[in-house]
Amino acid sequence: MQQTRTWAEIDLSALRHNLSHAHNHSGKAVMGVIKADAYGHGLIRFARALEKENLPFFGVAHTQEARRLTEAGLNTQIYLLSATLPDERAEIAANPWTPCLCTLDEIAHFGRLSQEKPLTAHLAIDTGMGRGGFLPNQIAEALQALKKHPQLTLGGIGSHLPAADEDPEFTKEQFLLFDRLVRDILATPDLKIVENPWIHLANSAGLLGYCSETSNLIRPGLLLYGLSPIPEFQKYLRPVMTLKTRVSLINTLPAGHGVSYGRTILQKETRIAILGIGYGDGYPRALSDTGTHVLIRDTPCPLLGRVTMDQIIVDITHLPECETGDHAILFGQELLITDLATRAKTIAWEILTQLTPRVERHYINERAADSPTER
């Protein structure tokens, strides 16, 4: 078997665990948000695993991601999470993808395209995100415009939360506003909407901390991957990805010697291990000199000096049994990305999506029926 230096182990049983937590906690159907290469977990493999869970939707950012899913033969309904460019719309109308309508221009254009083939879209309303959708005072006009297009039907109504993990006061108000707007919309005479429309607002933080009375669908991303944007809920989740590398070299350096670029000077004689991972793999350079650690043989080993492109150096003075070839964990269940993100002054979403293609993705614990080798 070919050996790899650095790999991301992706535990699909953790995905199933997180998914059922999202569903049970909210009591709502789940749109699996798999944009940005499924948050670095690998779009197609991840979507195949998720397809077994019979979700009503996969959420992606735009047509390029939708196209990859459709070309790979995935059948779950694809929802496009952002506004569309004019030159993307013909492809959207020709495919079984669901766009959200953010502007009168989109309504008019999709309305024209729907003359060839009926089209279902969701209405995006802006309840505070400021990233697209009709403002409350623009909704009536949007609904009026829809009436001109007999083949363009609303399949749902959605909005998005800008601060569900930061600002509970605002977010509570936003949920109330959303529910009120949805009730008003649904009460509009002659509304062109399906019988049981999808009503959705909540991302991961929104579904954990809040509840909308009108909504029947949630849109978790981060939570599916086992990380909670609200720390108190982390205990219910299992991180899907564990980032691993191996010890490539061990050495003992004297006090006063420097380590890595810029020469961080050692205060005492130090036994060091070199690990085959760096910012070229997506391990954040901003973790340099933040007091972070990695795990070797379940033991925290402090990061020494700056993160380089392909290698990092850790202190193993307290771990005499450490050997070349030992596995090291950069993040996972016992070393949460959310904690690393705080140290690196970023967010878990960014660390996940910045993992580079050099990191091989290894999938484990697929449902037995999916992996013939287990039979």
Ligand X SMILES: *Cc1c(COP(=O)(O)O)cnc(C)c1O
DSSP 23: H
Residue 81 Cβ, how far from ligand X at the closest point, in Å? 4
Interface map 19-58 toward ligand X (x if CB under 6 A)? --------------x-x-----------------------
* Type and span of the H or E element at 35: helix 35-40
The residue type at 302: P
Comparison of 226 and 278: residue with beta carbon closer to ligand X: 226
- The correct pick among 204, 212, 245, 308 for binding ligand X (CB under 6 A) is 204
Comparison of 76 and 204: residue with beta carbon closer to ligand X: 204
Please report whether residue 203 would count as binding ligand X according to CB under 6 A: yes
Pure H helices in 286-344: 337-343
Q: Residues 157 to 176: which contact ligand X by CB under 6 A?
A: 160
Residue 43 Cβ, how far from ligand X at the closest point, in Å? 14
What is the C-alpha separation between 218 and 224, in angstroms, rounded? 11
Please report whether residue 221 would count as binding ligand X according to CB under 6 A: yes
Largest alpha-carbon pair distance within the chain?
Answer: 80
Query: Which residue's C-beta sits nearest to ligand X?
Result: 221
Residue 285 Cβ, how far from ligand X at the closest point, in Å? 24
What is the C-alpha separation between 26 and 256, in angstroms, rounded? 56
Please report whether residue 122 would count as binding ligand X according to CB under 6 A: no
What is the C-alpha separation between 81 and 133, in angstroms, rounded? 11
Comparison of 175 and 279: residue with beta carbon closer to ligand X: 175
C-beta separation of 101 from 156 below 8 A:
no
C-alpha closest to that of 27 among 202, 184, 170, 234: 202
Comparison of 203 and 288: residue with beta carbon closer to ligand X: 203
Residue 143 Cβ, how far from ligand X at the closest point, in Å? 21
Q: Which stretch binds ligand X (CB under 6 A): 40-48, 110-118, 137-145, 219-227?
A: 219-227
First to last CA, the chain: 21
Comparison of 171 and 292: residue with beta carbon closer to ligand X: 171
Binding footprint of ligand X, residue count (CB under 6 A): 11
Residue 72 Cβ, how far from ligand X at the closest point, in Å? 21
Q: Which stretch binds ligand X (CB under 6 A): 44-52, 83-91, 215-223, 307-315?
A: 215-223
Active-site annotation, residues: 35, 261
The residue type at 266: L
C-alpha closest to that of 277 among 336, 350, 358: 358
Interface map 67-106 toward ligand X (x if CB under 6 A)? --------------x-------------------------
Please report whether residue 219 would count as binding ligand X according to CB under 6 A: yes
Please report whether residue 316 would count as binding ligand X according to CB under 6 A: no
What is the C-alpha separation between 337 and 342, in angstroms, rounded? 9
Q: Residues 272 to 291: which contact ligand X by CB under 6 A?
A: none
Rounded to 5°, the CA angle 146-124-210 comes to 140
Residue 166 Cβ, how far from ligand X at the closest point, in Å? 12
Q: Where are the beta strands (DSSP E) in the chain?
A: 6-11, 29-33, 57-60, 78-80, 97-98, 100-101, 119-124, 152-158, 193-200, 217-218, 241-253, 258-259, 264-265, 270-275, 293-296, 299-304, 312-315, 327-331, 360-364
Residue 368 Cβ, how far from ligand X at the closest point, in Å? 29
C-beta separation of 313 from 41 below 8 A:
no
Binding-site ranges for ligand X (CB under 6 A): 33, 35, 81, 160, 203-204, 219-223
